[in-house]
Amino acid sequence: DAKTTQPNSMESNEEEPVHLPCNHSTISGTDYIHWYRQLPSQGPEYVIHGLTSNVNNRMASLAIAEDRKSSTLILHRATLRDAAVYYCILSRNSGYALNFGKGTSLLVTP
Amino acid sequence: GAVVSQHPSWVICKSGTSVKIECRSLDFQATTMFWYRQFPKQSLMLMATSNEGSKATYEQGVEKDKFLINHASLTLSTLTVTSAHPEDSSFYICSASAAGATDTQYFGPGTRLTVL
């Protein structure tokens, strides 16, 4: 499986935008880029995913580099409830198990 | 969105007993379910992949006779931890993939197992 690299932790102020980076230089042409997040003592929650084009949904935006070797998850206005571990994962489709790395622990301060 | 439930949400048991954890897809049919476990301050580790009506595929290092997985229907998979020991204490999480879907998996809320 192609691997991803994320910073261990990031910090943001409440109501400010947050850009969470992810490097995936060995991504294959069939790999989707998925983002999940996990709040303390909860199961992971789907955030967003994409293949080549940038994606937006009610939770976040996903910006994918033209060469697909990196991507950025954008939270437009961080809230305290967005404090979680964010995982960037490559997967061909939902029929494959997800390879969770260490993710990025996001701290949001008031 | 699609909902996956787990029961129980937490369980405390004595060493040597068996514990069953249920994972249900509430509003969709799940052809494939995955079981993960997560130790404190660590990431999720895949234990096994379960396809409806067939035997589960276990990851290397996971004892299939200790962690029994049954996926008898398209909405239910169970994980039984047999003869549990304190080192089996962990957060067990299931996820499900909808039949015919290619996009995302849906995760349960997790089950906290504590073995005394």
Q: Do B103 and A94 touch (CB under 8 A)?
A: yes
pLDDT surpassing 70 at residue B3:
yes
Contacting residues of B for A100, CB less than 8 Å apart: 36, 43-45
Q: Check if A8 contacts B (Cβ < 8 Å).
A: no
C-alpha span between A44 and B112 (Å, rounded): 14
When CB atoms are compared, the residue of A46, A93, A100 closest to B43 is A100
- Does a cis peptide bond (omega within 30 degrees of 0) precede residue B8? yes
Contacting residues of B for A34, CB less than 8 Å apart: 104
Searching chain B, which residue's CA lies closest to the CA of residue A93?
B102
When CB atoms are compared, the residue of A38, A42, A49 closest to B104 is A49
C-beta neighbour count of A23 within 10 angstroms? 16
Residue A15 Rama label (left phi>0; alpha psi -120 to 50; beta): left
**Using CA atoms in the order A22, A24, A30, A35, what is the torsion angle rounded to 10 degrees?**
-20
Q: What pLDDT sits at residue B1? A: 67
Name the pLDDT band for B99 (thresholds 50, 70, 90).
low
E strand map for B8-89: 10-13, 19-25, 30-38, 45-51, 57-58, 67-73, 76-81
Contacting residues of A for B110, CB less than 8 Å apart: 41-43
Q: Check if A46 contacts B (Cβ < 8 Å).
A: yes
Q: Across chain B, what does the average pLDDT equal? A: 92
* pLDDT tens string A35-93: 999 999 999 999 999 999 999 999 999 999 999 999 999 999 999 999 999 999 998 87
**Which residue matches tokens 């996926």?**
B71
Q: Do A42 and B110 touch (CB under 8 A)?
A: yes
pLDDT surpassing 70 at residue B101:
no
Q: Do A45 and B98 touch (CB under 8 A)?
A: no
User: Please, what's the b/e burial string for A81-109 (b: 16 or more CB within 10 A of its CB; e: otherwise)?
Assistant: ebbbbbbbbbbeebbebbbbebbbbbebe
